[in-house]
A and B are shown apart, each in its own frame.
Chain A
């Protein structure tokens, strides 16, 4: 079918395609239903050809192409046409003899176009059948006698005008509804973005935002659940310490907390496979945490630095152990960082310059290299996990309990900092909900046993 696509896709253009579409359909229907009958609005021309571009009256051409359509025009089955679903484009209202049945031979191309559009319109209108059903009746009535032209036709014209007006209004309402939904959607997205940066993760909604992968959304949900568990574990640690539990009882709580951390590392393995960039860009964390991001998470040596001063009293052996841990952690971090830099260099070499001819080959190689990112994030998480385990080996039970409590509180404060930052007073940003937010966050920041980070 040699249909010029330019013609078909002129919907909504100045052309008023929809109207034409329906005119054609009508014409097609007329031809099908009533080959023998004389056309209603004949101007005396023998008409077998569909006139695609008749000399339509000015009224039609002046129709604004926005939401309102020309009024008043009608065909012999005009009212039937206008019952076609308002979801379709413009309604047809030519006063022209377009609906006249032309018997001059059709241009091959025009014939095809007519079929094409007929099928288009039939796809859109549920009431198409209705209009087809109406058609023969109307046609029959209309063509009984030319003398009845004026009275019935005028009535029909009026009906058409009315129907057209109604459908224009419906369409306008629909478009307005779409517009307001769109605005609402952007507002929701902004709210979601703000909430996420404040450390709140909406349970089921994370996946609904278009710019997040499903693997990332799943991880975000699991991470938010993990954070809730973290709060619970921390209060257990706190009560355990304050209650002066026996070492063996405390050991159970500490081991549970370590398994709690093991769990997030397990989840991160899955997330790294699904969406490594989500982890490596830190989009799963809050802004303040992101400042300190190293390979998709915290930098172990920095965590130890933060802990060292707060962990005393330590035995000399413990001090040596902690410093040794910090040192080996730094060495491991350095090695991984250099490996990652090598990956970056290799990636740059692959995609920079090079022959354009095998660009796809180039891309395929680059993708293979990018896949190595997952390995680095996994090794970094492995390093983090090993560091936490080693800490619990070096420290006594009570020290370990305090240590993990410190870690939890530290990150809690970082998250609170992020949320305070996001809701900090700016020119037009202060509102009631924000000030409530701030109050809650300040409560979180209340000093516990440890002074604020000297980080």
Chain B
């Protein structure tokens, strides 16, 4: 584990100092039932947010362009997904679901809603 010197120098609660970006992603992903990593300027991210809101889910959204470590996390997500687009990416119950195409595929084949219910994001 390597230590990063935080240039802001103030203590950020709930963040382990020196965590690598992928660890941070995993940590954030596990803290809420539905986690979406996004960029505020990205329209596909807007679409995925609308999808979940339309389902009655209240996702936790992290806008990476507004996060000081956003760039690193973006890079980590790109590596994780194996493509050039880091966002949007969705985690449900701490587990990676994927980018928009996977989310839509799982909604169409009926697996998305059970996952949401299982994670406690939906009650019906």
Contacts and interface: CB of A to CB of B under 8 A. Distances in A.
Is this pair of chains taken from one and the same complex?
Answer: yes
Interface of A: 321, 324-325, 328-329, 331-332, 334-336, 338-340, 342-343, 346, 372, 375-376, 378-379, 382-383, 386-387, 389-390, 393
A390 B109 contact: yes
B85 to A, nearest CB: 8
B46 to A, nearest CB: 4
A383 B47 CA distance: 13
A335 B105 contact: no
Given A328-B107, A382-B105, A383-B104, A340 B54 contact: no
A387 B44 contact: no
A10 B10 CA distance: 75
Nearest to A387: B108
A393 B105 CA distance: 14
Contacts of A376: 43-44, 47
B50 A382 contact: no
Interface string B30-50: 000000000001011011101
A342 B46 contact: yes
Contacts of A378: 101
Contacts, number: 72
Contacts of B41: 346
B108 A372 contact: no
A338 B44 contact: no
B17 interface: no
Interface string B78-105: 0000000100000000000000110011
B55 interface: yes
22 contacts: A331-B51, A331-B55, A331-B107, A334-B51, A335-B50, A338-B47, A339-B46, A339-B47, A342-B46, A342-B47, A372-B43, A375-B85, A375-B100, A376-B43, A376-B44, A379-B47, A379-B104, A383-B104, A383-B108, A386-B108, A386-B109, A389-B109
Contacts of B44: 339, 372, 375-376, 379
Contacts of A389: 109
Interface of B: 41, 43-44, 46-48, 50-51, 54-55, 85, 100-101, 104-105, 107-110, 112
Contacts of A334: 50-51, 54
Q: What are the 3 tightest A-B residue pairs by CB atom distance, in nearest-first order?
A: A339-B47, A335-B51, A386-B108
Contacts of B46: 338-339, 342
A255 B27 CA distance: 42
Given A346-B41, A379-B101, A382-B101, A335 B108 contact: no
Contacts of B105: 382, 386
A334 B55 CA distance: 11
Nearest to B51: A335
A383 B100 CA distance: 10
A339 B44 CA distance: 6
A332 B108 contact: yes
Residue picked from B47, B101, B109, most chain A C-beta under 10 Å: B47
A331 B43 contact: no
Given A376-B44, A386-B109, 17 more contacts: A324-B110, A328-B107, A328-B108, A328-B110, A328-B112, A332-B104, A338-B47, A340-B43, A340-B47, A342-B47, A343-B43, A375-B44, A376-B43, A379-B44, A383-B104, A383-B108, A390-B109
